Structure 1
Amino acid sequence: MGIAFDDGAADALITAANSADEVLRDEGGFLYGAVEQAVQDFNGGYGRLFRDACAIRSDDRGKLAGVLAALAEDVGEAKHRAQQEKARQKNMEAWQQRDNIRKQHLLSGDIAEASVTVATMVLDPMPESTPVPAPAVSAVFSPRDRPRFAGGPGTGTTSADPDKLRGFASVSRTATNTLNSHSVAVRNAWSSFTASCSWVTIETESFVAGFERLLAANAADADWIEQVATAFETAGSGSIEDSMLNRLFIQYAAPNQVGLNDIGTMSAAQLKVWLGNGGTARLRELLTQPALDPVATATWWSGLGHSVEPATGKVTVGEEQHLLIGALPDVIGNLNGVTATARDLANRKKLLQMHDYLKKYRNEHGGDVDEGSQEGMVNKIWESLYDSEGKEKTDRLDPSAVRQLISFVPYGLKQGSDTGYGASISVGDLDAAKHISYQIPGLDTTIDHDMASKTKQAYDQRAEQRDLAVPNGIDPARLAVVAWIGVEPAKDLGVFSNDQAKVVGAALRNDVTGVNAVHQNLDNTAMITAVGHSMGSLGVMEAAKAGLPVDNLVLVGDVGAPDNVSSVNNLHLNPGGTVYRGTYTVDYTSVIGHGAGWYRKYTTDPGFGAVTFGTDGFTAPDGTIEPPTKTHDGQTGGKDGIYGYFDKSTESSINQAKISLGLDDQLTNATR
């Protein structure tokens, strides 16, 4: 029968554990002189940290030594029990053989032999049949964290003798190297023991990894002390302000000791260490706190370091910024105050991860993509940015028509976002743009159904603006039109309410405020226009009620004004901002929309005060025809001679482009 227990493996573990125990207990004496020398002149905030670290190290090695000693005893006891069980099984096996022979004699029919057999049975009873209980071994150890960052206001000073600090580091490394060989021996012996002594129950074990972490902490202490010594040598003084040392050792800070401004002081190397030591969770906490100010965020993000090409306004993301994007793409990609270039990188990273995962899932499970699902949303955004071969969509004739995924919230309502699904794509570099247009769509627009078509609509409007830019002395490369579905608008019977428009308005205001803050930090000035179509017009007006930092507000096929808006005086734009509106003559959907809320004021009323631009068609002096809008839809492609408000080359689309470029004086069929 036998049991799985190798005496040799047990002896090897006992020897390794006892040897490591002895060396650990001797380390204190070995380090004592170096520690005493170092602390003579090491005072102040960082001197206290050193003393604390030495105390923790002493306490931890004592605990580990105790764990190893107990382990050796437990394994010794396990060996003793294993020997008892092996002997019991051996005795039982031998007795069983004798008993079988006796049973054969009893069945032989020889009365004399049977009598002798009965007598031997009395003299040879069955040995112990109850197995020796398998022992349990437990060895738990985890070292404590050692503080290496003083933090606080940094108003104190630290003094030290760098030579003595380096002396400690040298002795510490020698001790650690010695222990390292014992750690390896213990690890190997433990591995062999668990593989060949499975009869023993292993209840809880963490001492092997804990031993290795203890040595890693010792090595980190030596590195840290040498860095402190270098700081004093570089300063050429025996005393340094704690604030300066805090900047040098910010990567050692506990996550809760670090704020956004602290992150801004880290080098890329420091930031990488901090993120790897639990900083990612703290970063998420800092960047998702309620009411985070986009202006402050823009200043902070800019301080992390990026470069800007003066001639083109193109932003190149810095190394520290790349690290944060890699750590939290879902947060950075939707953080107002972060450059569009960085947000695009972050959102594409998240999009690629989700698209690859969902594509693999669909290939493995088959079936159709559900309407309105997260998968449908991801696929539609993908189609807006990449071709069938997975290459980024570009315009060979217009390289400046880049596409930037400036927001991407791939979660359902109450699953990561208070507003549900959301995504926005800018056609044109939003950071570099001198003219920016936001297009806010109407009723029933969804990401998974409309993102690609709304991106095309933005592309066509940018092309419209580009055609007008050159003859009017405007840089055609620095234009951006945003297909904005940062929040999906109302659906179905939501037409009878302004509730979702208020959500849309708040989100739009935050986004535009963020872009303005980014531009201020980039020293770039842009004319910004918000264009609301149908129910989207309610969203832009809701945003403007509380203040929307745009220069132009354009209402296209609007469905009336929201509550508390009786004139443009109730809409608050940038100083000198203008409200425009355009609706074709028989847009009954727009008329019905005005009545849908019953209380919505007609923007056509003379007292409302908006500048009306033409949408019913125009023939230019050179004979060029700008087709009229004949449907409430955004784009139809001119099917059957019917054009929507955003179809390229229509009077409506051209007038919108003129407004966005500041060419108000060139509007056709305008009423002021």
Structure 2
Amino acid sequence: MSVGRRVGDHLGGDMMTIDFDDGAADRLVAVASEVDLQLVTGGFSRRSAAEQAMMEFSGSYADRFGDAASAEATDRLTLAAALGHLADAVRTVKAEAGRERERLADLAAWRGREQDRQRAAADQFLGGLGSAVAPFLDPQPSSVVIRPTPISASFSASDRPRTAGGSSAGTSSADPDRLRAFTASARSSDRGFADGAARLRNAWTVFRTNCGWADVSRSSLFAGFDRYLQENAADADWIDRIANAFERAGSGHALSDAIIDIAAAEEIPSQFQGLLAPGVDPSRAAALWAGLDLGTAEDNELAALPTDVLAVLGNLEGIPYWARHVANQQVLDDRIERGNLDPVEDRALRSIRASLGDGRFLISMTADVPPLAAISLGDLDTATNVTWAVPGMTSSSERMEGWVQAAQNIKDEQRIVAGGEDRAVIAWMGYDAPPAPPNLGVFNEEAAQAGAPKLAASIRGLDAARAGDMPRTNVLAHSYGTTTASLGLTQAGVHVDNFVSIASAGIPQSIPTADEIQASHVYAGQARDTLVGFPGFGDQYAYIGRDFSVPYRLDPTNASFGAETFGADGAVVDTPAGPQALRGVKDHGVWTEHHEGYLDVGTESLRNVALATTGNGDRVSPAR
């Protein structure tokens, strides 16, 4: 018999048919029944995995997980029931199609006999023979068409909330391994459900193509099945993100719901998006942070946030520096552990990591290779005296340890000359410094022009983060760093208490005097000039940077510039412990193996830097 099992008669040339393929109907019933059973039995392992996950899951997010698991179970059983109803409806329509075929066949046969009777009656009338069979002995079958019962294949999946809507006051805790076991089990069962959904959709398509006689009133079941699977996948991804958060926070830690709301969201929550928007103003960032209820979050909690969020927070001017440090520390570890790094990046990241320790904070680190970075020696959230240390030519985070040690020397000397005040010194490797000649970058201002806004942004960031509680601020710059820093201190909205220049490679001509620099006091120190190739006699490079630049740059120690100058060639100074002999600087660098660099311990230069950056500029030893 043909696929359609078409039945008909030829009365008057018309073809009476029914478009219904029993085989297609049987296939749909079989698949719907199979998937129905699969959904019911597949829930056993899913429920067991959910129960295991809940064993060490507590707090608002445990409640949300329980709600999601309950919603999934309800949806799954509702979907299974809908498939059972679909199978029953198709069976009913198949039976109705059989009865309609039988009625049509009976009617066609009767019409054939009726035609025969009519022909016999005509022949008898013409031939005068006996009568034909009486019609009442062969009544006409029903002419009432059997209509199929409408098939309603309907189902819609429920929405599942995936946020606790919490604050830092509410907390949740979980075992990430148990959560991952749940998602593995859930995804496994979902793969089986997805295969069943595909088979069901194919059987439905064949049924609709070959069973046009059937009346389908609703068919939302298939879109609903897809939505159910999408919700399941979203649940698994959501739980994975929660597991990631707890893994990053470390074993045994509870997390605030406010942190998990961000870490577990598929998209960054709207209240957090403004904070991460490109170019957000530091004051705006400070205000947004204050409104996020994260002020009491612990270090491990903040580390639970996704890496891409942490990468932004770590460099976001205006938010607390403890938060930036936690974010950057996590990103640093992630980058190193990722492996397969460019050798330059690897050296820089490992140098940055080696520079950290107690009382040291990674307050910025970019994604560049090598990264730009800044390490604060001291707590910027509480310090009453803050000094930016801006390096010069050849500086790079590949050698972060050397500049951090120089910053440590400054901080230690500040304590010696001014007591144990809460201070911070920032080893600011925050711009791309020019390399040494024969590269000619040191002889122009391109690197300084690019770096100046970055330094200015860092200073504005402290203004915003410490608004109403601003510490004394200082900028100490060395070599080409003085070119960069002086430009930075002419930017809008920037002011510091003291700017200190040592070994200057020159101040741009656009800054003709110290009065143009936005600092209450401007200091400059310079060791005696000496020829290149004759080390151990003085500074062999600073004057070359000034005099051979295009255009030439200004010497901040010249009287015409107007800075307060101090000595760097060695002196005997009075201290509370008595006279102290201080070594002179014999090199352009900040430290040397003979301890005769500008920031080496025991030098006149370091002592004067410490005095100038603690508000004791009146005590510096004079230049000679």
Aligning the two structures, in what range does the TM-score lie when normalised by the shorter sequence? 0.5 to 0.7
For the pair 1:465 / 2:414, whether they are aligned, the reply is yes
Task: Give per-residue Cα distances to partners, 1:434-482, cap 9 Å, x unaligned.
Answer: 111111111111111x201111111111111112232xxx52xx11111
**In structure 2, the residue corresponding to 1:604 is in which secondary structure?**
coil
1:633 corresponds in structure 2 to: 589
What is the alpha-carbon root mean square deviation over aligned residues? 4.8
- Out of 210, 223, 226, which is 2:227 matched to? 210
C-alpha contact (below 8 Å) 2:197/2:225 kept by paired residues: no
Counterpart code for 2:606: S
- 1 or 2, which has the higher helix percentage? 1
**In structure 2, the residue corresponding to 1:468 is in which secondary structure?**
helix
- Out of 655, 658, 661, which is 2:608 matched to? 655
Q: How many residues align?
A: 431
CA separation of 1:148/1:188 partners in 2, compared to 1, >3 Å: closer, same or farther?
closer
- Out of 381, 385, 388, which is 1:435 matched to? 385
The equivalences for 1:327-406 within 5 A come to 328-358=309-339, 361=340, 370=343, 373-385=344-356, 393-394=357-358, 402-406=359-363
Deviates more, 1:646-655 or 1:325-334: 325-334
CA separation of 1:447/1:215 partners in 2, compared to 1, >3 Å: closer, same or farther?
closer
CA separation of 1:287/1:187 partners in 2, compared to 1, >3 Å: closer, same or farther?
closer
1:499 corresponds in structure 2 to: 446
2:527 corresponds in structure 1 to: 584
1:451 corresponds in structure 2 to: 400
C-alpha contact (below 8 Å) 1:374/1:410 kept by paired residues: no
The CA distance in 1 between the partners of 2:27 and 2:195, in whole Å, is 6
For the pair 1:297 / 2:285, whether they are aligned, the reply is yes
C-alpha contact (below 8 Å) 1:436/1:527 kept by paired residues: yes
For the pair 1:515 / 2:462, whether they are aligned, the reply is yes
Deviation at 1:505, TM superposition (A): 0.9
2:620 corresponds in structure 1 to: 667
Task: Give per-residue Cα distances to partners, 1:582-626, cap 9 Å, x unaligned.
Answer: 001223411111122333123233221100011111112423211
Deviation at 1:147, TM superposition (A): 11
Counterpart code for 1:581: A
For the pair 1:425 / 2:406, whether they are aligned, the reply is no
The CA distance in 1 between the partners of 2:337 and 2:155, in whole Å, is 41
2:491 corresponds in structure 1 to: 546
- Runs of 4+ with >4 A deviation: 8-13, 16-21, 63-73, 139-149, 186-197, 199-203, 205-209, 212-217, 281-285, 315-327
Task: Give per-residue Cα distances to partners, 1:388-424, cap 9 Å, x unaligned.
Answer: xxxxx33xxxxxxx11000011324xxxxxxx73111
The CA distance in 2 between the partners of 1:281 and 1:306, in whole Å, is 14
C-alpha contact (below 8 Å) 1:17/1:71 kept by paired residues: no
1:248 corresponds in structure 2 to: none
CA separation of 1:593/1:407 partners in 2, compared to 1, >3 Å: closer, same or farther?
same
**In structure 2, the residue corresponding to 1:506 is in which secondary structure?**
helix
1:559 corresponds in structure 2 to: 505
Deviation at 1:19, TM superposition (A): 9.6
C-alpha contact (below 8 Å) 2:525/2:557 kept by paired residues: no
CA separation of 1:602/1:192 partners in 2, compared to 1, >3 Å: closer, same or farther?
closer
CA separation of 1:302/1:318 partners in 2, compared to 1, >3 Å: closer, same or farther?
farther
Deviation at 1:653, TM superposition (A): 0.5
Task: Give per-residue Cα distances to partners, 1:251-301, cap 9 Å, x unaligned.
Answer: xxxxxxxxxxxxxxxx95366346534332767853443431111212222
2:32 corresponds in structure 1 to: 14
Counterpart code for 1:453: G
1:608 corresponds in structure 2 to: 561
Taking structure 1 as the reference length, the TM-score comes to: 0.55
2:579 corresponds in structure 1 to: 623
Counterpart code for 1:407: S
Q: Percent identity?
A: 27
Deviation at 1:20, TM superposition (A): 12
Taking structure 2 as the reference length, the TM-score comes to: 0.59
The CA distance in 1 between the partners of 2:487 and 2:156, in whole Å, is 56
Q: Which runs of 5+ in 1 are unaligned?
A: 1-7, 22-59, 77-138, 150-182, 218-266, 308-314, 363-368, 386-392, 395-401, 413-419
The CA distance in 2 between the partners of 1:189 and 1:383, in whole Å, is 50
For the pair 1:480 / 2:461, whether they are aligned, the reply is no
Task: Give per-residue Cα distances to partners, 1:481-512, cap 9 Å, x unaligned.
Answer: 11101122122321121011011110010011
CA separation of 1:355/1:625 partners in 2, compared to 1, >3 Å: closer, same or farther?
same
The equivalences for 1:73-88 within 5 A come to none
CA separation of 1:434/1:424 partners in 2, compared to 1, >3 Å: closer, same or farther?
same
**In structure 1, the residue corresponding to 2:266 is in which secondary structure?**
helix
C-alpha contact (below 8 Å) 2:503/2:527 kept by paired residues: yes
Larger Rg: 2
2:47 corresponds in structure 1 to: none
**In structure 1, the residue corresponding to 2:268 is in which secondary structure?**
helix
CA separation of 1:326/1:214 partners in 2, compared to 1, >3 Å: closer, same or farther?
closer
C-alpha contact (below 8 Å) 2:506/2:554 kept by paired residues: yes
The equivalences for 1:46-61 within 5 A come to none
1:167 corresponds in structure 2 to: none
**In structure 2, the residue corresponding to 1:551 is in which secondary structure?**
strand
Deviation at 1:532, TM superposition (A): 1.1
CA separation of 1:319/1:425 partners in 2, compared to 1, >3 Å: closer, same or farther?
closer
The CA distance in 1 between the partners of 2:195 and 2:464, in whole Å, is 62
2:140 corresponds in structure 1 to: none
For the pair 1:593 / 2:593, whether they are aligned, the reply is no
**In structure 2, the residue corresponding to 1:211 is in which secondary structure?**
helix
For the pair 1:489 / 2:433, whether they are aligned, the reply is yes
The equivalences for 1:30-429 within 5 A come to 190=193, 210-211=227-228, 269=257, 272-273=260-261, 276-280=264-268, 286-305=274-293, 317=298, 328-358=309-339, 361=340, 370=343, 373-385=344-356, 393-394=357-358, 402-412=359-369, 421-429=371-379
CA separation of 1:9/1:644 partners in 2, compared to 1, >3 Å: closer, same or farther?
farther
C-alpha contact (below 8 Å) 1:13/1:189 kept by paired residues: no
CA separation of 1:142/1:464 partners in 2, compared to 1, >3 Å: closer, same or farther?
farther
The CA distance in 1 between the partners of 2:458 and 2:570, in whole Å, is 33
2:55 corresponds in structure 1 to: none
**In structure 1, the residue corresponding to 2:389 is in which secondary structure?**
strand
The CA distance in 2 between the partners of 1:572 and 1:613, in whole Å, is 20
C-alpha contact (below 8 Å) 1:633/1:644 kept by paired residues: yes
- Out of 453, 460, 473, which is 1:528 matched to? 473
Counterpart code for 1:661: T
Task: Give per-residue Cα distances to partners, 1:161-210, cap 9 Å, x unaligned.
Answer: xxxxxxxxxxxxxxxxxxxxxx99x979848969999x99999x986562
